[in-house]
Structure 1
């Protein structure tokens, strides 16, 4: 897979190295000459250019890439890069970094963003996930507003504890994709039983999250959540 990353700061370089380690072809685009340090990510192709300029992106042959990652520390830049990548170069997948929580609402398909990764939201979700048992925690949004990655840690009194996965009546537009049990990550099989303390990871649309919560934790959990308990 060919991936172009706009921004060669700590975040951009870390993403680049991880993708290279996984066998992908990575190009880093950076306008600041002092940030061009090829020895930091030796497996990447480096281009000194302004990713907000169409001419620079044409020179980088952006249309050849499968994914563009807008990873700078400036939300305005990330939005412009995303819009150009999608509208001018028809890049199939655009991932954008959100630096400030108040700007998150802008990172939508209208700006060319397929996936917005908000550092404040991710950190808040990880905090919630670490301490919350018996409620639904949203970890990540795929394609803004359409599908979410959510997690529920099963309390001992959950309705389906001890029941097989296939007996759990999940709503439409919802899939159980993983069970984290202690140090193990399990791919759910239909006959696998649910155990107290299991972290259930779902992909579902936002409009069925309450239904998922009700099925897994009981109908009264939805009402408690609405009351802020």
Structure 2
């Protein structure tokens, strides 16, 4: 596939490397001269110019691109580029860095194919490292939903339950199930939950604490703190 990426900074260049390593054709657009030189030194085709201008996008051969990633730190430039690319029939990916108000978020979400938050993705990785192996955040969906992978422990109240017996809060649903070291797949009705099994759950942030208590066996206080719905008191936190 052929991709045009606007911005050869940290996010744009890393994305370009991954796409190239997978065999895709990537053209970068960048107007900062040191970044242009760095990308060209790595062997990338780089158009020196403003990616929010149609002439520059045409120079990058947007007509034959499958998708455009507007990955600069300038939201206005990113959005303008996406609107031009959409006119050319490209899939559009818009980078947003700040926590915009819900109505602003939805405005942009309605106009492009995909929104990405590099800082949020980095935060998810850090959160996973801090939490350890029983709970892994996979993605934030919208602003109030999260997809998490949880590993059943000895302390989980649902240890030994079958999938149909599992009663999660109303604002959550099981997306996938995997036995210990097995592949994730759609959950079957005769599957029983054992230590080491994994469940992928889509849940509202408001019920993450309850889900952690059920599937991992955390205490109510610890689950509330880890899910971001409570706070620890004193210098020692919650034990």
Deviations, residues 89-112 of structure 1 (Å, cap 9, x unaligned): 3323x223333x344754545363
2:184 maps to which residue?
Answer: 187
Deviation at 1:28, TM superposition (A): 1.2
Is the contact between residue 52 and residue 77 of structure 2 (CA under 8 Å) also seen in structure 1?
yes
Deviation at 1:69, TM superposition (A): 1.3
Deviation at 1:54, TM superposition (A): 2.0
Aligned partners of 2:19 and 2:172: how far apart in 1?
Answer: 30
Deviations, residues 184-222 of structure 1 (Å, cap 9, x unaligned): 5632363655444655333x375xx6568756744996x
Uncovered stretches (5+) of structure 2, i.e. residues with no partner:
232-239
Helix, strand or coil for the counterpart of 2:94? strand
| Higher alpha-carbon deviation: 191-200 or 48-57 | 191-200
Aligned partners of 1:55 and 1:108: how far apart in 2?
Answer: 29
Uncovered stretches (5+) of structure 1, i.e. residues with no partner:
none
Deviations, residues 5-39 of structure 1 (Å, cap 9, x unaligned): 11112321211111111122222111233322423
2:230 maps to which residue?
Answer: 228
State the superposition RMSD in angstroms. Answer: 4.1
Structure 1 residues 216 and 34: CA distance shift in structure 2, 3 A: closer
Deviation at 1:137, TM superposition (A): 6.9
Deviation at 1:164, TM superposition (A): 4.7
TM-score, normalising length: structure 2: 0.66
1:89-100 matched pairs, under 5 angstroms: 89-92=88-91, 94-99=92-97
1:27 maps to which residue?
Answer: 27
1:18-167 matched pairs, under 5 angstroms: 18-36=18-36, 37-40=39-42, 42=43, 44-86=44-86, 88-92=87-91, 94-99=92-97, 101-103=98-100, 106-108=104-106, 110=108, 112-132=111-131, 139-142=138-141, 144=142, 148-165=146-163
Larger Rg: 2
Structure 1 residues 147 and 211: CA distance shift in structure 2, 3 A: closer
TM-score, normalising length: structure 1: 0.68
Aligned partners of 2:28 and 2:67: how far apart in 1?
Answer: 12
Structure 1 residues 215 and 122: CA distance shift in structure 2, 3 A: closer
Structure 1 residues 185 and 214: CA distance shift in structure 2, 3 A: same
Structure 1 residues 72 and 176: CA distance shift in structure 2, 3 A: same
Aligned partners of 2:68 and 2:179: how far apart in 1?
Answer: 31
Helix, strand or coil for the counterpart of 1:186? coil
Is the contact between residue 11 and residue 71 of structure 1 (CA under 8 Å) also seen in structure 2?
yes
Deviation at 1:50, TM superposition (A): 1.2
Is the contact between residue 66 and residue 90 of structure 2 (CA under 8 Å) also seen in structure 1?
yes
Aligned partners of 2:20 and 2:177: how far apart in 1?
Answer: 26
Helix, strand or coil for the counterpart of 2:115? strand
Deviation at 1:51, TM superposition (A): 0.7
